[in-house]
Amino acid sequence: MNKKLLLLIPALWASLFDIIITIIHQPVEYWNGNLNLANEANPMGDFMMKNHISGIFIISLLWILIIGLLGYYLPRKISRVFLLFVLIVHSWGASTWISWKYGFWFVIIFTLFNAILFYIIEDKVNYKKSESELKRNANTV
């Protein structure tokens, strides 16, 4: 698999988890049309949710596309900082729901899972990098 695509996985996972948990925990009254009951800390997400029942879906789809495009096309170092930022921010965002609804230890497990996922992907990408460097160096000897 393409290294750039692999590096997207942790950020996209955390973003999707945050989006899904936000959707799941909206009050029934919100889904029945009382848009003022939208519960979202992100001001852009809150604005979209309070203006249309599809707002969360529209902004989420746009955000996922932006993460994918920027994460893939930005220069390597900037992309890695951006993707780590997205992972951290969405892990925090989701943890506010998890803490409130499920408790402290579920936040710890979620955070640990995200950290392990991040390092597994990093190791896989760096291993492939060092493997290709070894082959390149072997061909020059």
Half-sphere exposure of 28 (CA within 13 A, CB side): 0
Give me the sign of the Cα torsion angle 132, 81, 96, 37.
negative
Going residue by residue through the chain, which has 141 residues, state the pLDDT in tens, using 9 for 90 and above.
699 999 999 999 999 999 999 999 999 999 999 999 999 999 999 999 999 999 999 999 999 999 999 999 999 999 999 999 999 999 999 999 999 999 999 999 999 999 999 999 999 998 866 666 666 666 766
Burial category of 78 from C-beta neighbours within 10 Å (exposed 0-12, middle 13-18, buried 19 and up):
exposed
**Which of 83, 62, 60, 87 shows the shortest CA–CA distance to 72?**
83
Residue ranges making up the domain that contains 84: 3-140
Rounded to two decimals, the pTM is 0.88
Number of domains in the chain: 1
89: which 2 tokens? 């921010």
